[in-house]
């Protein structure tokens, strides 16, 4: 699926093998996130870009997620400009939670999307 020139995907197409990058802020992440996602807040993204390049699969896609899809679209566009195969997750963590996907608080409990 494409939205303009930006590749997009729905949460239903993601698997546990996919590399997920969560760009929400710290309070949003702490409230609830997808298990195994890499958290790099959009506000710190450029400064912490190296963390992504170290963690991301060398020749795989980076699926970028936020709360609803706006911030992740901006970050995915930036990554594409850097030569990374990035895809925006449509609907973000709200769609993830609505689809019944697990949301973790990082402490073994059930999280919430705020």
DSSP state of 44: G
Instruction: Specify which residues 33 forms β-bridges with.
Output: 104
Cβ-proximal residues to 25 (8 Å cutoff; 6+ apart), any chain? 41, 42, 43
Q: Which candidate in 66, 75, 79, 95 is catalytic?
A: 66
Distance CA 31, CA 24 (A): 11
Annotated catalytic residue 39: no
Active site amino acids: 66
């Amino acid at each position: 699926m494409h939205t303009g020139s930006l590749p997009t995907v729905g949460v239903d197409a993601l698997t546990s093998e996919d590399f997920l990058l969560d760009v929400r802020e710290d309070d949003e992440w702490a409230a609830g996130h997808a298990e195994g996602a890499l958290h790099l807040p959009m506000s710190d993204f450029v400064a912490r870009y190296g963390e992504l390049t170290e963690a991301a699969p060398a020749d795989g896609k980076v699926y970028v997620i936020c709360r609803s899809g706006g911030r992740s679209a901006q970050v995915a566009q930036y990554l594409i400009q850097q030569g990374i195969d990035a895809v925006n997750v449509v609907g973000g963590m709200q769609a993830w939670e609505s689809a019944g996907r697990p949301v973790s608080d990082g402490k073994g409990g059930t999280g919430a999307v705020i």
